[in-house]
A and B are shown apart, each in its own frame.
Chain A
């Protein structure tokens, strides 16, 4: 089992969600995040002063999957989030040793769904 964590542009979230749904991956957790990559932010103006904002808004999508869904999930997220521009984001794959469904107590393969 793997936990797939993706940092994407906030405005690409609808596309990523749709791509995941199309690949029949319906379970996910989405959170707001601030972050930056290689570009170290952008400049913004406020009341005549230009300042550098280096933590940009991002959205973090987490999907826990069985092995056979890892590549489809990566493909779906990439398809939804890729624009070709800097700032598209990153996907991390974490090993997931155990998964429990709270309601029933199921573990492992059944719990992931």
Chain B
């Protein structure tokens, strides 16, 4: 028994913690107190894991874009976490979770400005049936909001005006994301209908994906991307960075899905992590097979996108589908993302430097619909899932388009051709990512 405890550090930590917690039980009111501490601890760990996704996005986007824009990409990623968390504190959290403060049916509600914990135990152990404290709830959900916003920065990379992007993101993550999010997670009308989105295939990924699509459409492609009527390759600057990024994102998903159980329930959390990881693994495989078949060579960027596709795909139903279903969902998502990237790039001619639209929008929709197909819970139906997907698309996409359009006609959303060819690092920031000597600018 002792040997088992000593060979696994994290279990040891948990067991020490639980042990201490139970020791405190002698002084605390009930065993509920101990469970509260354990649950809340896991939720805080999940929060930091979701935070790690920002490292992932920063690395992935830097790796898949050209080095002359790296400072700009990193700057956008840094600003997004700031804008995301602050707007969530100011109004986002209460827009997403109005509680009793619904204003317009179950469509729009607002719980008030700022974040204030309820008094006494209500903000702590009484808050979510002893699962986590008010503050944990805020921060965990705040991290989700920030990750949703950063999806867009990849699709608009290399040609968007910085200030326009920051303004768009502020409105997008400060108002639009929490407003539509309240329909499901805030116990709004979609939730009442039985729509299910466990960790945000729709609420986070497809919402970000619609924004990305709107941006890419209104911005137009990068110079040289479709020059001469051909589809040209604008190669990423660092495959190692891109790979590190994807693995960091996968790591973050342990919290993204694992924390969406909203407690430390051993069965639920461990099962969710299994479906999550198996879907990611299957996503890689699905992408590998399809990209080999289509491109005739094993493409690293495709299998990396495949891992993410599997993860996005399982995010809607990680706790409510079987292991086999999770693998199928991942396989399909992996294949889907390859086909989607090629279709969007070559047929639709929408320039998406990192494949954000394919990974987040297309696979987000797939993941949501897959719940209707594979869920072991008979309360979930394909029709309801489809309704949810449509509702989000019909609201988020036009609003994002309008936002970008308003910015386009006022401040302008695209940098000048000269600035774009020089690179946004020099033109928007006056600094270089790789100071001094730089490997090839363009081929």
Interface residues, chain A, with chain B CB atoms under 8 Å away: 10-11, 13-14, 32, 34, 44-46, 57, 59
CB of B431 within 8 A of CB of A46, answer yes
Chain B contacts to A: CB under 8 angstroms: 224, 421-423, 430-432, 435, 437-443
Within the complex, the shortest CB–CB distance from B431 to chain A, in Å, comes to 6
Pair A10/B442 contact, Cβ less than 8 Å: yes
B417 to chain A: closest CB distance in Å?
10
Report how many A-B pairs have Cβ atoms within 8 Å: 29
Q: A59 vs B440: C-alpha distance in the bound complex, in angstroms?
A: 9
Give Cα A11 to B435, complex, Å: 17
The 6 closest A-B pairs by CB, nearest first: A10-B441, A11-B421, A45-B430, A14-B442, A44-B430, A13-B442
Closest A residue to B438 by beta carbon equals A57
Whether B432 and A44, one on each chain, are in contact in the complex, defined by CB atoms closer than 8 angstroms, is yes
Known: A10-B441, A14-B224, A46-B431. 19 other contacts (CB 8 A): A11-B421, A11-B422, A11-B423, A11-B442, A13-B442, A13-B443, A14-B442, A14-B443, A32-B439, A32-B440, A44-B430, A44-B431, A44-B432, A45-B430, A45-B431, A46-B435, A57-B438, A57-B441, A59-B441
Given A11-B422, A45-B430, A45-B431: A32 and B442 interface contact (C-beta under 8 Å) = no
Provide the residues of chain B in CB contact with A11, threshold 8 Å.
421-423, 441-442
Interface of B is mostly: loop
Min C-beta distance of B103 to chain A, whole Å = 46
Which residue on chain B has the smallest CB distance to residue A43? B430
Which of A13, A32, A45, A46 is B437 in contact with, Cβ under 8 Å? A32
The chain B residue sitting closest to A85, CB to CB, is B418
Say whether, besides A11-B421, A14-B224, A34 and B437 are in contact (CB < 8 Å): yes
Q: Which residues of B contact A32 (CB under 8 A)?
A: 437-440
Residues of A within 8 A of B443 (CB): 13-14
Q: How far is the CB of A1 from chain B (nearest CB, A)?
A: 27
Chain A residues contacting B438 (CB-CB under 8 Å) are 32, 57
The contact sample of 5 A-B pairs, CB cut-off 8 A, is A11-B423, A13-B443, A32-B437, A32-B438, A57-B437
B440, closest chain A residue (CB): A32
A83 to chain B: closest residue by CB: B418
Using Cβ atoms and an 8 Å threshold, which residues of chain B touch A13? 441-443
User: How many Å lie between the Cα of A59 and that of B432 in the bound state?
Assistant: 17
CA distance A23 to B33 in the complex (A): 80
Q: How far is the CB of B234 from chain A (nearest CB, A)?
A: 10
Closest Cβ neighbor of A11 among chain B residues: B421
Residues of B with C-beta under 8 A to A14: 224, 442-443
A14 to B440, CA, bound (A): 12
A103 CB to nearest B CB, Å: 25
